[in-house]
Structure 1
Amino acid sequence: MRADRRVGGRAESFHRSSLPSFRQVFGWILLGAATVYTAALVMVLIVSQQDQRRPVDAIVVLGAAQYNGRPSPVLRARLNHALHLYREGHAPRIIVTGGMGRGDTTSEATVGRRFLVSHGVSSEAVIVQAQGRSTQASMTAVGEWLEHERLNRVLLVSDPFHMFRLRMEARRTNLEAYTSPTEDSPISDNPVLELRYLFAEGFKIPVAWFRAAVSPLTSHSQSL
């Protein structure tokens, strides 16, 4: 009887020791999270250096802040870059995005259109998509408009740190998307500020990966 108890006690002790401790599980979780974050950050850095300008159906400019109808320095840099690409002949149209913030009386997209038209772009060549206040919402609106027009190839314009996530969202809506980051953004000119945005993207990318895995979009009509 005592022998049975000893054997049973040893078996129970062995079973308990074979299970990972809370500290081990927590360590694995931290290691996994750090690996995912590092992978995301590496991809952000790689794509931020890629300029894939080429002939496309449309140049897409991601919105940024505007002040009383005037583009902020960040938005102006994006618009100037899109204007340069347009003049190089990479696309016959420019799509400007960005909705209205709290207290605004006009949208970022509308301000972008005014800027481009004032710099010689035909008003018919500038398409306003002001529905979105996020990268995901803006790209969904752009994708739906392009699908309606039977167009698909886009050249995305934004700050370098933004390009990887932006391309992810564009391709998630079934667009053939290429990137052309701004070359003189005020954010890029401030190393400390740029690092803050880069590190923030490291957290946003895994969320975008998870969302794409849970609810992938293969057609704009599926999202309606």
Structure 2
Amino acid sequence: MRTRPDSRADSGAARGIGAGILRWGGRLIGGALVVGMILVCGTAVRVWQVARIEDYTRADAIVVLGAAQYSGTPSSVFEARLYQAASLYEQGVSDLVVTVGGKQEGDLYTEAASGKMYLMEAGVPEDAILAVETGSDTLRSIEAVADAMHGRELESAVLVSDPWHSLRTRTMARDAGLDAWTAPTRTGPAVYTRESQAHGIARETAALLWYQLTHFSADFNYTAGQ
């Protein structure tokens, strides 16, 4: 049985439409991948740029982001942050240092209490330290600090953490209503090697993108586990 000419034409048109859809679909997927790569690379550059900023402008408080501690002894990551905070206090950046962070199950001390003890041993007066003993990740810690500071009518904070952590902490603090800038530590495991630096930038790029997309915590066992 012969195929009618109009049937062959309809079949060819259908194939043409299908091919066109595939071409446009491929272009859309390719375009989305390019946009995604630009977004990721642009965020990584911003993480690197803000990591290099050291702003010693006087503030209402120096805020130290918590990290792991062991029976009251700060981990090397936490100690590097606390050392920087004590230095900022000695330089007159603020009259108040805020430590923040809760504790894991079985811990005897909170991160905030451990940090306070370290600072007192470093010469910071007890009445110049506010320990905010809540927060299991960066977001909850920043929100707890913001609540504590607003309750004392304090508005500005210089944030102390690892360099690569600076942009995310600053973003969260500003979202929480604080006038915040950063003066990160330049010592500790986070900055020892090129490998640790690259790992920190990659991790913080992913965490910041997740936070900006969802406004949920995005620590991936980062600060709480170090």
With the length of structure 1 as denominator, give the TM-score of the two structures: 0.87
Aligned partner of 1:152 in structure 2 is 155
**Structure 1 range deviating more: 76-85 or 33-42:** 33-42
**Structure 1 range deviating more: 8-17 or 157-166:** 8-17
Task: Spell out the pairing of 1:1-12 with structure 2 (5 A cutoff).
Answer: 2-12=4-14
1:137 maps to 2:136: no
Q: CA deviation at 1:211?
A: 2.2
Distance 1:32 1:77 in 2: 37
Distance 1:129 1:2 in 2: 82
The partner residue of 2:94 within 91, 103, 114 is 91
Q: What amino acid sits opposite 1:84 in the alignment?
A: S
The partner residue of 2:52 within 40, 49, 54 is 49
Aligned partner of 1:104 in structure 2 is 107
Count of aligned residue pairs for this structure pair: 213
Distance 1:11 1:185 in 2: 66
Distance 2:4 2:177 in 1: 70
Distance 2:67 2:184 in 1: 14
Distance 1:198 1:6 in 2: 58
Task: Spell out the pairing of 1:55-70 with structure 2 (5 A cutoff).
Answer: 55-70=58-73
Aligned partner of 2:219 in structure 1 is none
State the identity %: 31
**Structure 1 range deviating more: 24-33 or 179-188:** 24-33
Structure 2's unaligned 5+ residue stretches are 217-226
Report if the CA contact (8 A) 2:60-2:95 is conserved.
yes
1:16 maps to 2:26: no
Q: CA deviation at 1:43?
A: 0.6
**Structure 1 range deviating more: 154-163 or 34-43:** 34-43
Q: Which runs of 4+ in 1 moved over 4 A?
A: 21-26
**Structure 1 range deviating more: 59-68 or 190-199:** 190-199
| Alpha-carbon RMSD | 2.0
Aligned partner of 1:218 in structure 2 is none
Q: CA deviation at 1:26?
A: 4.5
Distance 1:93 1:168 in 2: 22
Q: CA deviation at 1:23?
A: 5.4
Q: CA deviation at 1:55?
A: 1.0
Structure 1's unaligned 5+ residue stretches are 215-224
Report if the CA contact (8 A) 2:84-2:185 is conserved.
yes
The partner residue of 2:206 within 203, 207, 213 is 203
Pair 1:86–1:28, CA change in 2 (3 A)? same
Q: What amino acid sits opposite 1:175 in the alignment?
A: L
Aligned partner of 1:118 in structure 2 is 121
Report SS of the residue matched to 2:181.
strand
Report if the CA contact (8 A) 2:189-2:196 is conserved.
no
Any idea what the Cα deviations from partners look like across 1:137-174, whole Å, max 9, x if unmatched? 10111111112122211100011111011111111112
Distance 2:19 2:96 in 1: 66
Distance 1:102 1:41 in 2: 34
